Every structure is written in structure tokens, then in C-alpha cells.
Amino acid sequence: MKKRIRIKDIAAQAGVSSGTVDRILHNRGNVSEKARAAVEKVLNQVGYKPNIHLSGLSLKKTYEIVISTPHASHGEYWEAIHNGIQEAIDQHESIHIKTTYLTYDQYNIYSCQNVFTQILIMEPDAVIIGPTFKDETIDLAKKLSDKGIPFTFVDSMVEGTSPLAFFSANHYICGYLMCKLLKSLIPETSDIAILQAIRIGDQSANTSILRRKGAYDYLTETNFGNRIHHIQFSVYEAHRNEEMMREFFTAHPNVKGVIVLNSRGNVVANFLEQNNINDIKLVGVDLTKPNIAALKNGRISFLIDQNPDYQGYIAMKTLLEFLILQARPKVENYMPLNIVTKETIDLQLEFNFLKKI
Amino acid sequence: MKKRIRIKDIAAQAGVSSGTVDRILHNRGNVSEKARAAVEKVLNQVGYKPNIHLSGLSLKKTYEIVISTPHASHGEYWEAIHNGIQEAIDQHESIHIKTTYLTYDQYNIYSCQNVFTQILIMEPDAVIIGPTFKDETIDLAKKLSDKGIPFTFVDSMVEGTSPLAFFSANHYICGYLMCKLLKSLIPETSDIAILQAIRIGDQSANTSILRRKGAYDYLTETNFGNRIHHIQFSVYEAHRNEEMMREFFTAHPNVKGVIVLNSRGNVVANFLEQNNINDIKLVGVDLTKPNIAALKNGRISFLIDQNPDYQGYIAMKTLLEFLILQARPKVENYMPLNIVTKETIDLQLEFNFLKKI
């Protein structure tokens, strides 16, 4: 058991009252510079580490934190991020936190603009942003910085902003790895298709662009000599979609491997299943419910997990430690990428991050 | 923020004193059955969950816990298990815990017998066992059970014992997966070698037997028609070792893929490196320092991580929750298996379990 450091011992060593030590520990001001210097010297000597739970207990303030991400559907990526955020809140129950979830339609720029305007009107104590639209996010980030409101990013970083920290998968490595895994599954002579699910009016998200670059770089580095098809398909217009895939795979019978750059790998898996096409290998990303089903029935061979629950957890924990303890985090944080197969998925789900802690 | 449940409110609702509620919450006895029933009814109604940290604070008892595993070397598997155990202890600093590490030479049965005898003389409050020798472990487990001393296993389960819980990789799936990954890397026509590092006088550990069965079952299920070589090599007699590998690979030029069933994949990797053999693929297990080096230089293509730090952490946490809160855990716990590559190893190491929490 670690030895506890008592406030009255610190006070005695620093030659101040216990009340002064307490005010310094909890940033409640009203302390002379001389007293602060004396106390901080003793704290350093004894290796004092602030305890966020004890600090939180003595704070009367309620922290208003806005979480602004794309809408979260059940069993999907953004829900896992929200679950992680909630876990961090639950773990810090000594701190008074008021959270407001302002989510937007990631395929509707007006929805995003509307929500970001609300955030600026609210003037919360801190914001967690799951970005989609680049220019809108840069604009929001600039205004938050001007107001001195700290914010963290989950899912991805947006260049030209100054977050307290970001927590993101390394999307470039993700794409590189997906292609490498796919290559191990298909014949030397096979062509490859790189698919991307989009909705109407959608520009490619930054994450997909980075993944595509990783995928192409892998193929270039390994001198891939066969054809690479880059195609987009719609998740909404299911009928056109199926027609498009049928046309594509009929026209290109030499494509024996497909990677899907966003979390909709299950759409291709379902097409292959329904059409009884058994010689095309598929690598996808994100442990969504439909992707997991396709992994288990063998249609998807590998899924990459971006650890969204941990992203949400650490983004909120970092914000709280900054708000309460003024702890400055590392800014760039790339999450682990887990490679998941049919054999490991159940173990992975049983002990995912939120169940581990 | 969750609403806190106050002892005096529970006491008022149950019609007893606060002291009675306190005695029930901390299992300090001296409470009538009627009062206990009334309090437990209220606790259920309000959804009370015991808090191990608060319970620990009010306990004067020091818990003696013995950790008995093979000797831990720096940067290796058992050290990671010990680190996880220490993390759980650090997280429960309100509980007085005295730990004694009694480690043994996993290749010397007398060393193990000696240590197990010491445990029985000590009569600690609980034991964490990393088992190697089956009969010795069954004997120790039986005697601990007779004395009413709870114990948990890490690394693997030993049949014929009744632990409070065990925390182990699923070694069968591990072997199955290693073979599946290897198959994806080598030509259709290639033979496969399944290697196992042993030391003199060593019987195969149970973990290796399970992994080998998984590997063979994969090959049988997929109708593998080429040759499978099963060979053993010594980690101590480095010279004989190299000679043996040279003879083997010279005699069997059609072996283009190797799995190493225990954590010594680096020995084969070094042989391939030193002899400039570039067409043999290797899959190994455990993120030991030398294995990580071989993964990074490309000699090992995939490593399976058994999450030893998490095994140690959860084994100790489970024991403490049982000792303090009488919480009965799930007995069978198979840890996640992480598939790690050159691309993901650094992300994995930066955010391993102990750094996540």
C-alpha cells in the first residue's frame, strides 16, 4: 500500500496553514505567491500527485460539456464513442458534470452548421467534437479558441485547428493494413476493388481519403501490377446499389478482393451472400453489428477495430483532468488498431475496453 | 452525475440505526437477521452497489496475497502479468495488501514443489497461481481448497481444480489462428513446420499442447494436403540449435511457413536473419522484446498477444473484490487475442491495457 501524504504534514513543512495548502490543491485562489511557492516545493519533494476525485468533491462548480458528433445509431461506431464518454463521466461521479449531446446529420452540412451555432451560443466549459465537415469545424474551432473554450476531437483530427488533444485512429495505417491483409487472401493474379459507401451530395470524408492513400501506397510499395478499381456506392438507394455491384462484378470477373473504406463493408458482404458469390474476399473497418454478422458468416475476412469506446472515454477523461487539475495532455493521440477475425471476435466483444475497466 | 445514496437515508427507510447499516455494508457482523433483511431490502430498492474503495477504508485487516508464477524476466510475458497485478494493487490503495512473490523455475519441478510447500506453510488470505506443472498444481489447489484459501489462475487453467476464477488466453483458438494466418502468407504448395522451443527435461506445457491441437485442427478442416513437420528446439543450447535448424531447413526446402507455439519465435527469426533466408514466413506469440524486434524487421509477420497485463490485473482485482465484497466472479474467463503486425505494434504498445486505465 502506498503511503498517504497528509495535508497537515505538507502545511507544517511549508510553514503555512492547512487551509492554504487546501486552497492551492483545489485552485481556489486567495493565496500569496510566497506561500504557493513554498507549498509547491514541498509537493514536488514528496512526489504529490493530485487526485481528481478528491479535487472534484471540493468543487461546487457544475461543468457544462457539449458533445457534438454525427448522430449515433444503435450498434454503430458513434454509439460506441458515446458509451466511452459516458463511462468517463460515470467514473468521475465526484465532479458535477452537465452534458449536452448536440448531434448532426453527417451527410447534411446545414444540420452541422446549425448545431455548431448552438454550441457557440451555449458557451459551455468544454466541447468534444466528432468532426465531419472540414470548413465548419475549422470555423467552430477558431471561435472556441477565441473564447478560451477547450475542446478535444474524437475519430479524426482537422488540420488548421488547435484542440487540447485529439484521439483518432491512424487512418492512413488503417488503409495500408487493410490492403496488406487483403493481398494475403487473394491469388497473385487478382485485381482489387476499393469501395466507398457514400450518400447523395456527400464529399469524401477526410478519414476515407487518408485510408485510400494508405491502401494505394501499400500497393505501390509492393509493386502491385494488376488493376485497382476505385468505386463508390450508395447506402440509401439499395436497389440501384445492388444493380451497380452486379454490373461491376460481372464486368470485372478478375476482382477477387475488395476493401471497403468506411464502416459499410456489410453492404458488399450482403450482396455476395445473396448472389452466392464465394470467391471474393472482403476486408472492412469497424465492429458494427452488421459487420460483425458478416465476419461471423465468413463474408468478411478481417475487420479493423478503431477502438471507438476508448476514444470517447479518453477524450472525456482528458477534458476533465484539464478542467479540474489543469493537466496538459499530449495533443496527438493515435489509437490502437485491432485486427479482428471470425476466431477472435467473441473474445474481443466480451472484453472490450468498457468491460475491462 | 449519479445521485449518491446516503447511509442515514437507508437507515431511516429500514427503521434501523446508521451504525447497523454500516456494519452490514462492511460485513462486520453483530446484526440481527431481521435488521439485515430490512436493510438489504432497501439496498436492493435503491440499486445500491458496494464501493470497494470505501469498504476498504473501514477495514483494519491486512490481506496477505501470494503470487506464484514462473520467474519473470524483463520485457517478457510473466513480467507483464506481474505489472498487471501491481496495477490492480495500486488502484486499491485504500485496502491494506501485503503481497509476496514466490516465483519458480518453470523448467525445474523441484523449484515449483519447494515454492508450493512454502505457500501452504504461509497460509495467506489468497493466492494467484501461474501454473506450469500439472500434478503439483492440482495438489496445491486441493490443499488450498481444503483450507478455504481462495485462488485464481493466470495464463492457463488446470483441469481437476476449483479456482475462484481463471484468466487465460484460449490457447486452442490461438494455435488455430496462428495456422490460419500463416496459411494466408505462403504459397499453396508450401509445407509447414510447427516449432516448439523446449529446455532440457521439459515436458510440453499444456498451453503448447492446446495450441498444437488448434493448429492441426485448422489444417485438417481446410484439407491441407502438404507436409506438416513438428519439431522441437532448445533455447539454451544455441549452437546445437542453429545446427538443427540449418539441417532442418536444408533437408526440407519446401517449408515456406513456420509457426512457433511458444514465445520463442525470435529464435527462428534470428536464424533466418543470420542466414539471409528471405522466403520463409513466421507467425509467433507474445509481445516479448525480441519478438517485437523480429516483427519490426519483418522476420515475423504476425504476433498473437495474449494480454498478459490484463490477465494479471483482472486476476488480482477479482481476488480483492471477493475478499472485500464477497463478490463471486464468473469462473471461466478467456482473454482477447490481439493480432499484431509491423504496422500496428507501436500503436498497440503506446496504448496497452496498463496505459489505457
Kindly report, residue by residue over B41-71, the tens digit of the pLDDT: 887 777 666 666 656 555 678 999 999 999 9
Amino acid at A26: H
Picking from A52, A188, A339 by the largest number of B CB atoms within 10 A of its own CB, the best residue to mutate is A339
Interface touch B180/A343, C-beta < 8 Å: yes
**Three-point CA angle A49, A53, A57, nearest 5°:** 120
Q: Is the domain of B131 the same as that of B236?
A: no
- Report yes or no on B24 lying in a domain: yes
For A357, nearest residue in chain B (alpha carbons): B357
Mean pLDDT of chain A: 88
- Report yes or no on B357 lying in a domain: no
- Residues on chain B touching A314 (C-beta within 8 angstroms): 356
- Residues on chain A touching B309 (C-beta within 8 angstroms): none
Q: For residue A2, what pLDDT band results from cuts at 50, 70 and 90?
A: very low
The average pLDDT across A135-150 equals 96
pLDDT at A57 over 60: no
Mean pLDDT of chain B: 88
How far is B170 from chain A, CA to nearest CA, in Å?
A: 9
Q: Cα separation of B62 and B95, whole Å?
A: 8
The average pLDDT across A105-116 equals 90
Instruction: Specify the pLDDT at position A339.
Output: 97
pLDDT at A198 over 80: no
Instruction: Specify the pLDDT at position B203.
Output: 55
Q: Is the domain of B182 the same as that of B299?
A: yes
Instruction: Specify the pLDDT at position B1.
Output: 35
Q: Cα separation of A355 and B336, whole Å?
A: 12
The average pLDDT across A36-60 equals 70
Q: Is the domain of A164 the same as that of A272?
A: no
Instruction: Specify the pLDDT at position A56.
Output: 58
Look at strands B255-260 and B281-285 and give their pairing.
parallel
Q: Is the domain of B35 the same as that of B74?
A: no
Q: Is the domain of A38 the same as that of A163?
A: no
In sequence order, which residues have a C-beta less than 8 Å from that of residue A24 and are 6 or more positions away? A31, A35, A36, A39, A40
CATH number for position B272? 3.40.50.2300
Interface touch A93/B314, C-beta < 8 Å: no
CATH number for position A30? 1.10.260.40
- Residues on chain B touching A310 (C-beta within 8 angstroms): 351, 356
**Domain coverage including residue A255:** 171-305
Q: Is the domain of A296 the same as that of A177?
A: yes
Q: Is the domain of A313 the same as that of A165?
A: yes
Q: Is the domain of B73 the same as that of B159?
A: yes
Instruction: Specify the pLDDT at position A203.
Output: 55
- The region of weakest confidence among A199-203, A310-314, B272-276 is A199-203
Residue segments in chain B with a per-residue pLDDT below the cut of 50: 1-3, 201
Q: For residue A1, what pLDDT band results from cuts at 50, 70 and 90?
A: very low
- Report yes or no on A239 lying in a domain: yes
Q: Is the domain of B188 the same as that of B103?
A: no
CB–CB of A313/A167 below 8 Å? no
- Report yes or no on B210 lying in a domain: yes
In sequence order, which residues have a C-beta less than 8 Å from that of residue B72 and are 6 or more positions away? B78, B79, B81, B82, B103
Q: Is the domain of B198 the same as that of B257?
A: yes
Look at strands B96-101 and A151-155 and give their pairing.
unpaired
Instruction: Specify the pLDDT at position A302.
Output: 98
Most confident of A36-45, A244-253, B28-37, B235-244: A244-253
- Residues on chain B touching A336 (C-beta within 8 angstroms): 344, 347-348, 350-351
* Each residue's pLDDT tens digit, A72-82: 888 889 999 99
Q: Is the domain of B162 the same as that of B193?
A: no
Picking from B53, B167, B338 by the largest number of A CB atoms within 10 A of its own CB, the best residue to mutate is B338
The ipTM value here is 0.78
- Report yes or no on B341 lying in a domain: no
pLDDT at A297 over 70: yes
- Report yes or no on A96 lying in a domain: yes
Q: What residues of B are in the A interface, CB distance below 8 Å?
A: 1-2, 4, 89-90, 93, 95-97, 170, 173, 176-177, 180, 184-185, 307, 310, 314, 334-341, 343-344, 347-348, 350-351, 353, 356-357
The average pLDDT across A272-287 equals 96
- Report yes or no on A262 lying in a domain: yes
Q: Cα separation of A103 and A69, whole Å?
A: 5
Give me the residues paired with residue A304 across strands. Answer: A285, A339
Instruction: Specify the pLDDT at position A36.
Output: 82
> Across the interface, which of B93, B338, B357 has its CB nearest the CB of A357?
B357
The average pLDDT across A225-232 equals 93
Interface touch A337/B353, C-beta < 8 Å: no
- Report yes or no on A354 lying in a domain: no
More confident call, B28 vs A43: A43
Q: Is the domain of A179 the same as that of A301?
A: yes
Q: How many domains does chain B have?
A: 3
Instruction: Specify the pLDDT at position A18.
Output: 81
